[in-house]
Amino acid sequence: MPFPDQARRPYEPSEIERYPDGQRGVYGLFDDAGCVFIGKGRIRERLLAHLKGGVAETERCIRAHPPTYWLVEETEDFTVRHMGLVVEYDPRCR
């Protein structure tokens, strides 16, 4: 089952910083070609960490396929939901 129907949120620091702190769930990073990455946990914290980058292979992959927007679903059962979304979207970065 895909993400619930929602407006695309621009993958920009100002948009991410407006998202409520402490919300947990799953999120997807996308570009015009499709899904770049599916993540889980504290949504705002994780998205800001992706913007800062890092040396991990996942972060290098995300930089190589820059997202333009993100989708989100708040849920406490984010581990199970995450697995389903990875199967659904087959992201380029894992």
pLDDT of the residue at 83: 97
pTM of the model: 0.96
Which uninterrupted H or E stretch holds 17? helix 13-17
Tell me, what's the pLDDT at 64?
96
User: Are 93 and 61 a contacting pair, CB within 8 Å?
Assistant: yes
Give pLDDT tens digits for 20-49. Answer: 999 999 999 999 999 999 999 999 999 999
Task: State whether residue 3 is helix, strand or coil.
Answer: coil
Q: Which fold has domain 9-89?
A: GIY-YIG endonuclease (3.40.1440)
